[in-house]
Amino acid sequence: MPPMSPEFAAVLVLAVSQLLVPLLNGLLSRRQTKHEAAVDQVPLLVQSLTAVAQDVRDIKADLRVVNEHGAKLQTQDLRLRALEDWMGTARPQLHQVVNHVTVLMGERTSRQLQHAANAVAKDTGSGIP
Task: Give the mean model confidence (pLDDT) for residues 48-76.
Answer: 96
**Amino acid (one-letter) located at 120:** V
Q: How confident is the model at residue 126 (pLDDT cuts 50, 70, 90)?
A: low
Sequence-distant (≥ 6) Cβ neighbours of residue 4 within 8 angstroms: 12
Distance of alpha carbon 117 from alpha carbon 120, whole angstroms: 5
Task: Give the mean model confidence (pLDDT) for residues 103-116.
Answer: 87
Task: Give the mean model confidence (pLDDT) for residues 5-21.
Answer: 81
Is it the case that residue 125 has pLDDT exceeding 80? no
Q: How close are the terminal C-alpha atoms of the chain, in Å? A: 159
Which of the residue ranges 61-65, 81-85, 117-121 would you say has the lowest mean pLDDT?
Answer: 117-121
* Phi, psi (rounded to 5 degrees) for 127: -95, 35
Q: How confident is the model at residue 58 (pLDDT cuts 50, 70, 90)?
A: very high
Does this model's pTM top 0.85? My answer is no
